[in-house]
C-alpha cells in the first residue's frame, strides 16, 4: 500500500505543483495589473517576474505529466493547457516590459526636469526596446485570445476566465503603447539634446473659439538646452501687441466684424491650418519682442483639463484655492477675464502660476505621473486640443503623418484594393468675433446628408443646429457672433445657404479657393437663449465613380480644434439601382439609406461600398 501511495504521489505531484504554480502566477499577475498606473514600478516588476517564473514552472510540470495525460486520454487537453500557459508567460513578459519602460521613463524625466546626471540616449533606447517588446507580447496574447482556442479547456475554466479578465483591456493598452512608441522619436530633437531650443506656447481659450482652437490670451516661452529644461515663462499677449510697430493688413472679417484696422498677435491664428497660423504667430512674436523660436505649441483649455486629470488638483497658494479638471474653465474665466483690461498682469499671473505648478508637479513625477501625462498628451493630440509645429523637418514630418500638426485634415483615401473612391468633404471652422466667451454656453449638433441621384450626381446638405444657453446678454456670455467657414471639395458648386428660415443671397457668401478646397464664409449670429439652424446645400460636380459595377463613397468630416464632441449624424440616400456591400463602423444600412450616428471628438471618415445592380 505504501508503495502504491508513493507511486501515486510521484505521478500526481507534477499535476499538483503545476496547478498551485499556475494559480499563484495568476494571482501575482493580477497584483501586477493593479499597478498598471505605475504607482509602484519596482513592485510591478517583481510581481511580473514572479508570475512568469510560476507559469514557466507550471509548464515544465505539465510537460513532465504528458505520459499520465496520454494514458488517461487527456492529451488534447494537456496540449491546450500548455498553450494557455504559454499565453500566460507572454502576458507576464509583456507586463514586465511595460514596467521596465516605466522605470526608464522615470530616469529620463529626472534627467530632463530635475537635471540629474544620466544618459538620455540610453534611457530613450531602453524605453523604445521595452515598449516594442511589450507591444509584441501583448499583440501575440490578443491574437491568441481572439482565436478562441483556449476556450476548449473545460477543466481549466477558472484559470481561463481569470486570464481573460486580465486581458480585457489589451486592445486599449496596445493602442496606448503604440502612441507612446510614435511620440518617442520626437523626444531627442524636442529637448535639444545637442543644442538649445525655445518653443512658443500659445494658450488658446476655447470659450472664445478661434480657427485653431481659441483666442490667444497669453503665450509662453519654453526652453531646453542639452536635453534639460532651461526655462518656462508666461506673458500677456496684450503686452506683446503693445510693442507692435507699423501696420499689418488683417483678414477682411477681422477688419469688418471686429472693427480692427490692423492685425495683432492675439488674432494670428486666423488660418485653420495650424502650420500656417504657427508661422504667422512666430512672425508676430519676432516683430513685437525680437524673439525667434524653434517651433510652436498650441494648448487649448481642454488640453489643460487633461493635464489636470493627469496631475490631480493643483493648489495655487497665491490665490488660496485649488484648481481641478472640474473647475478649470470657471476659475480661468474668473481670474483671467473679470475686470481684465489690456496690460493688466492678472491674466499672466494666474495662468503663469497654474502652468508653473503643473510643470513643478510633472518635474517631480513618478512613472505613474508620466504614464498619465503620456495618456493626456495622446488624448489631446488625437482630439486636436494640442497642436505642434516644429522646425525640425523629420519631427514635423512625423507630426503630419500622425495628424498631430493641426494641418487641415486630408486623409489618404486610396484603398489597397484599388477600388475607385468618390469623396465628399465638409470642414466647418468658426471664429467667435463677439468679444465674449459665448462658446462656453454654446451647444451645436451637425448633420451631413448626401443624396445620390439617378445620374450618380451627389447633392450634399450640411445642417448645423446651434443653442446659445448664455443666461443673459452680458459678459462673459452673450450673443454668439461667429464668422463661419466651410471647406468643401474644389469641384463643389454652392446651391443655397439658409440661416433660420431665410435664404441668403449667394453674392453675400465669400467664396475662395484655398489650396484644393472651395471655402465658403459668412457671419452667423445666435441670440441669447435661442436656437438657430444653418443649412448649406452644395453639389459635387464629380459623380459617383463606378468601375466593374463597384464604387466607394467616402464622407470626410474633420474636427475643429477647441470644439468638443459635437453630435454628428451622416445620412446617405442612394437609388434603387445600387446596393450596399460594406460600410465602415457605426453604419446602419436600411432600404435606400445608410446612417452613421457619431460625434466630432476626432476627425471622422465614413465609407460605403456600392454595387451597381
Summarize pLDDT for 481-537 with one digit per residue, the tens: 999 999 999 999 999 999 998 999 999 999 999 999 999 999 999 999 999 999 999
Does 57 have pLDDT greater than 70? no
Q: Which domains does the chain have, with CATH numbers?
A: 2-186 (no CATH), 191-401 (3.40.630.190), 421-612 (2.60.40.3680)
Does 255 have pLDDT greater than 70? yes
Q: In b/e form, how buried is each residue of 194-232, taking b as 16+ CB within 10 angstroms?
A: eeebbbbbbbbbbbbbbbbbbbbbbbbbbbbeebbbeeb
- Which pLDDT value is given to residue 453? 92
pLDDT confidence bin for 349, thresholds 50/70/90:
low
pLDDT confidence bin for 249, thresholds 50/70/90:
very high
Mean of the per-residue pLDDT values of the chain = 84
Q: Report the Cα 484 to chain-centroid distance in Å.
A: 25
Average pLDDT over residues 579-598: 95
Locate 284 and state its grid cell. Answer: 508676430
Within 13 Å and on the Cβ side, how many CA atoms surround 442?
Answer: 30
- Which pLDDT value is given to residue 523? 98
- Which pLDDT value is given to residue 595? 98
Q: In b/e form, how buried is each residue of 395-414, taking b as 16+ CB within 10 angstroms?
A: bbebbeeebbbbbbbbeeee
- Which pLDDT value is given to residue 318? 81
Locate 29 and state its grid cell. Answer: 499577475
Locate 413 and state its grid cell. Answer: 483615401
pLDDT digits (tens, 9 = 90+) for 289-310: 999 999 999 999 999 999 999 8
pLDDT confidence bin for 339, thresholds 50/70/90:
very low
CA torsion angle for 463, 467, 468, 469 (degrees, to 10)?
A: -160
444 Ramachandran zone, left/alpha/beta (phi>0; psi -120 to 50): beta
> What are the CA-CA distances from residue 393 to residues 186, 273, 299, 356, 568 (Å)?
11, 18, 22, 30, 35
Q: Are 562 and 209 in contact (CB under 8 A)?
A: yes
Average pLDDT over residues 355-378: 77
Q: Are 601 and 565 in contact (CB under 8 A)?
A: yes
Average pLDDT over residues 585-605: 96
- Which pLDDT value is given to residue 59? 59
CA distance 33 to 31: 5
Q: Is the pTM of this model over 0.85?
A: yes
The least confident of 31-35, 393-397, 475-479 is 31-35
Does 153 have pLDDT greater than 70? no
- Which pLDDT value is given to residue 82? 64
CA distance 228 to 271: 33
Locate 23 and state its grid cell. Answer: 494559480
pLDDT digits (tens, 9 = 90+) for 89-110: 777 788 788 888 888 888 888 8
Does 272 have pLDDT greater than 90? yes
Q: Are 121 and 175 in contact (CB under 8 A)?
A: no
- Which pLDDT value is given to residue 586? 86
Percent of the chain with pLDDT over 90: 56
Q: Are 377 and 176 in contact (CB under 8 A)?
A: no
- Which pLDDT value is given to residue 99? 81
pLDDT confidence bin for 52, thresholds 50/70/90:
low
Locate 144 and state its grid cell. Answer: 491568441
Does 589 have pLDDT greater than 60? yes
Does 136 have pLDDT greater than 80? yes
CA torsion angle for 204, 209, 212, 218 (degrees, to 10)?
A: -20
- Which pLDDT value is given to residue 143? 80
Percent of the chain with pLDDT over 70: 78
- Which pLDDT value is given to residue 1? 38
Q: Please give the residue that has the higher pLDDT: either 457 or 38.
A: 457
Tell me whether the omega of the peptide bond preceding residue 456 falls within 30 degrees of 0, making it cis: no
pLDDT digits (tens, 9 = 90+) for 11-35: 333 444 344 444 444 454 455 455 5
Amino acid at each position: 500500500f505504501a508503495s502504491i501511495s508513493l507511486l501515486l504521489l510521484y505521478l500526481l505531484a507534477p499535476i499538483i505543483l503545476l496547478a498551485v504554480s499556475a494559480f499563484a502566477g495568476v494571482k501575482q499577475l493580477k497584483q501586477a495589473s493593479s499597478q498598471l498606473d505605475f504607482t509602484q514600478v519596482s513592485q510591478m516588476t517583481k510581481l511580473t517576474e514572479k508570475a512568469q517564473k510560476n507559469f514557466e514552472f507550471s509548464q515544465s510540470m505539465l510537460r513532465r505529466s504528458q505520459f499520465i495525460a496520454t494514458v488517461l486520454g487527456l492529451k488534447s487537453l494537456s496540449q491546450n493547457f500548455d498553450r494557455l500557459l504559454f499565453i500566460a508567460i507572454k502576458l507576464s513578459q509583456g507586463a514586465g516590459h511595460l514596467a521596465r519602460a516605466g522605470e526608464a521613463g522615470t530616469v529620463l524625466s529626472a534627467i530632463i526636469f530635475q537635471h540629474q546626471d544620466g544618459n538620455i540616449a540610453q534611457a530613450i533606447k531602453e524605453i523604445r526596446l521595452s515598449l516594442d517588446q511589450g507591444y509584441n507580447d501583448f499583440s501575440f496574447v490578443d491574437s491568441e485570445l481572439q482565436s478562441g482556442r483556449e476556450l476548449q479547456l473545460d477543466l481549466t475554466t477558472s484559470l481561463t476566465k481569470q486570464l481573460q479578465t486580465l486581458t480585457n483591456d489589451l486592445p486599449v493598452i496596445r493602442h496606448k503603447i503604440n502612441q507612446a512608441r510614435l511620440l518617442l522619436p520626437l523626444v531627442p530633437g524636442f529637448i535639444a539634446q545637442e543644442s538649445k531650443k525655445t518653443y512658443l506656447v500659445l494658450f488658446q481659450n476655447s470659450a472664445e473659439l478661434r480657427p485653431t482652437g481659441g483666442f490667444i490670451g497669453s503665450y509662453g516661452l519654453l526652453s531646453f538646452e542639452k536635453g534639460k529644461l532651461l526655462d518656462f515663462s508666461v506673458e500677456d499677449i496684450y503686452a506683446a501687441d503693445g510693442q507692435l510697430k507699423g501696420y499689418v493688413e488683417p483678414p477682411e472679417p477681422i477688419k469688418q466684424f471686429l472693427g480692427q484696422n490692423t492685425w495683432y498677435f492675439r488674432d494670428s491664428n486666423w488660418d485653420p491650418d495650424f502650420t500656417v497660423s504657427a508661422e504667422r504667430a512666430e512672425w508676430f512674436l519676432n516683430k513685437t519682442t525680437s524673439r525667434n523660436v524653434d517651433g510652436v505649441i498650441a494648448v487649448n483649455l481642454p488640453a489643460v483639463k487633461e493635464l489636470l486629470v493627469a496631475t490631480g488638483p493643483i493648489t495655487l497658494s497665491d490665490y488660496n484655492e485649488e484648481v481641478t479638471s472640474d473647475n478649470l474653465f470657471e476659475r480661468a474665466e474668473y481670474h483671467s477675464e473679470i475686470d481684465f483690461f489690456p496690460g493688466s498682469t492678472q491674466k499672466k499671473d494666474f495662468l503663469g502660476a497654474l502652468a508653473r505648478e503643473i510643470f513643478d508637479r510633472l518635474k517631480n513625477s513618478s512613472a505613474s505621473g508620466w504614464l498619465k501625462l503620456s495618456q493626456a498628451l495622446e488624448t489631446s493630440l488625437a482630439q486636436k486640443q494640442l497642436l505642434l509645429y516644429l522646425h525640425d523637418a523629420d519631427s514635423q514630418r512625423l507630426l503630419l503623418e500622425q495628424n498631430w500638426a493641426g494641418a487641415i485634415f486630408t486623409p489618404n483615401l486610396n484603398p489597397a484594393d484599388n477600388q475607385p473612391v468618390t469623396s465628399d468633404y465638409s470642414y466647418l471652422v468658426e471664429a467667435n468675433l463677439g468679444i465674449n466667451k459665448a462658446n462656453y454656453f454654446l451647444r451645436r449638433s451637425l448633420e451631413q446628408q448626401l443624396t445620390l441621384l439617378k445620374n450618380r450626381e451627389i447633392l450634399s446638405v450640411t445642417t448645423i443646429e446651434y443653442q446659445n444657453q448664455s443666461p443673459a446678454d452680458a459678459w462673459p456670455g452673450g450673443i454668439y457672433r461667429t464668422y463661419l467657414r466651410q471647406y468643401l471639395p474644389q469641384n463643389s458648386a454652392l446651391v443655397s445657404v439658409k440661416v433660420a428660415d431665410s435664404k441668403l443671397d449667394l453674392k453675400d457668401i465669400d467664396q475662395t479657393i484655398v489650396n484644393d478646397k472651395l471655402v465658403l464664409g459668412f457671419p452667423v449670429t445666435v441670440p441669447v437663449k435661442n436656437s438657430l439652424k444653418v443649412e448649406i446645400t452644395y453639389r459635387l460636380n464629380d459623380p459617383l465613380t463606378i468601375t466593374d459595377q463597384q464604387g466607394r463613397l467616402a464622407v470626410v468630416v474633420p474636427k475643429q480644434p477647441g470644439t468638443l464632441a459635437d453630435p454628428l449624424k451622416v445620412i446617405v440616400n442612394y437609388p434603387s439601382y445600387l446596393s450596399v456591400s460594406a460600410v465602415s463602423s457605426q453604419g446602419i444600412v436600411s432600404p435606400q439609406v445608410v446612417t452613421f450616428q457619431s460625434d466630432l471628438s476626432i476627425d471622422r471618415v465614413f465609407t460605403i461600398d456600392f454595387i451597381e445592380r
